[in-house]
Amino acid sequence: MNILVTGGTGYIGSHVVVGLLKSSYNVTIVDSLINSKSSVLENIEKLAGKAPTFYQENLTNFSALEKIFKDNEFDLVIHFAGLKSVSESVEKPIMYYQQNLTGTINLLKCMQEFHVKKIIFSSSATVYGSGNAGECIENMPTGQGITNPYGKTKYMIEEILKDVCTSDPEFSAVALRYFNPVGNHESGLLGEDPNGIPNNLMPYIMKVASGKLEELSIYGNDYDTPDGTCRRDFIHVVDLANGHLAAIKALEAPGFKTYNLGTGTPTSVLEMVETFEKISGKPLPHKFVERRPGDLAEIWANPKKAENELGWKANLTIEDAIRDTLSFLENHQ
């Protein structure tokens, strides 16, 4: 089976590509390398024993994408490519709408033209919006109270996919709603290494642990949670990647489906920091500061639907994620 993976050199995409190649799928990656490095391709090959086909291209370039579809025969698409910084999306909404929405529409137009009718989309827990804090279940309403353009693009793309499924009874789309991905492949060869000052917790912790940033600011310790800091559902990226492989079978039946990919157990920011200190054996300098605007006190997945329908569940722990993060840091000092 030939699979097109957009954004396949990114943090989550690269882990999925390794899983696909190891499961004997043929993989073609289209990635602009805006937010990733071509060296990831060598590491994918090292880990999978096989190389994907690679095109450096942005999905906003319709004619280039059309040519890629013409030159290949894809059976299904896994769509990761997109911009993903919440704060940047607030500053540059047009760039986010253009990249994420135009990119997806171009992809869907090519799929339609070349009769490719199966897609897995990289969605996010952010689609549940601010009205649905706490435990999230797939049948809850989405789209209300999303505070940033990045999150809105995830919601809008889910809606577009729903409409495409309605218009074409043979089309199948699965939106996977990720909670908070952490960790990396245990080899330490793949991982998340953002440029500049990271927004997300784990990348920030990594910069502090490697001495590149002085200390972690924990945003708020006065939330109505057990230790006052926010709680999230941190899921190991290798578990998350396996969720994509499991979702391929859900594409056999046409229609639009969503699945949460999370562990079902929330962990607080402070617990994350303390566990990191325990496993690394070193203190992680941190201080408590004001709350960050837009943060929910707590949000976690109910992952039962994925377990029941896809036979998938998360197996790795926060400790595994931190151990693997430390080996990534060793490889990228």
Does residue 235 belong to the site contacting ligand UFG (CB under 6 A)?
Answer: no
Which of 89, 106, 126, 258 forms a contact with ligand UFG (CB under 6 A)?
126
Does residue 218 belong to the site contacting ligand UFG (CB under 6 A)?
Answer: yes
Q: Burial level of 234, CB count in 10 A (0-12/13-18/19+)?
A: buried
Does residue 269 belong to the site contacting ligand UFG (CB under 6 A)?
Answer: yes
Q: Report the alpha-carbon distance of residue 130 to residue 138 in Å, rounded.
A: 15
Pick the catalytic residue: 25, 96, 128, 150?
150
Closest distance between ligand UFG and the C-beta of residue 149, in Å? 11
Q: Report the alpha-carbon distance of residue 119 to residue 297 in Å, rounded.
A: 33
Nearer to ligand UFG, 180 or 184 (CB): 180
66: DSSP letter: H
Does residue 180 belong to the site contacting ligand UFG (CB under 6 A)?
Answer: yes
Which of 62, 97, 114, 219 forms a contact with ligand UFG (CB under 6 A)?
219
Does residue 267 belong to the site contacting ligand UFG (CB under 6 A)?
Answer: no
Beta carbons of 316 and 183 less than 8 angstroms apart: yes
Residue 219 bears catalytic tag: no
Q: Report the alpha-carbon distance of residue 127 to residue 146 in Å, rounded.
A: 7
Closest distance between ligand UFG and the C-beta of residue 304, in Å? 19
Q: Are strands 234-236 and 180-182 parallel, antiparallel or unpaired?
A: parallel
How is residue 66 written in tokens? 């059309």
Report residue 251 CA to chain centroid gap.
Answer: 19
Tell me the Ramachandran region of residue 289: left when phi exceeds 0, alpha when psi lies from -120 to 50, beta otherwise: beta
Closest distance between ligand UFG and the C-beta of residue 73, in Å? 33
Q: Report the alpha-carbon distance of residue 216 to residue 303 in Å, rounded.
A: 30
Which of 41, 44, 110, 125 forms a contact with ligand UFG (CB under 6 A)?
125
Does residue 165 belong to the site contacting ligand UFG (CB under 6 A)?
Answer: no
Q: Half-sphere exposure of residue 212, counting CA atoms within 13 Å on the CB side?
A: 15
Stretch near ligand UFG under the rule CB under 6 A, chosen from 3-11, 99-107, 121-129, 303-311: 121-129
- Residues serving a catalytic function are 150
Residue numbers at the binding site for ligand UFG (CB under 6 A): 84, 86, 124-126, 151, 180, 199-201, 204, 216-219, 230, 232, 269, 292, 295, 299
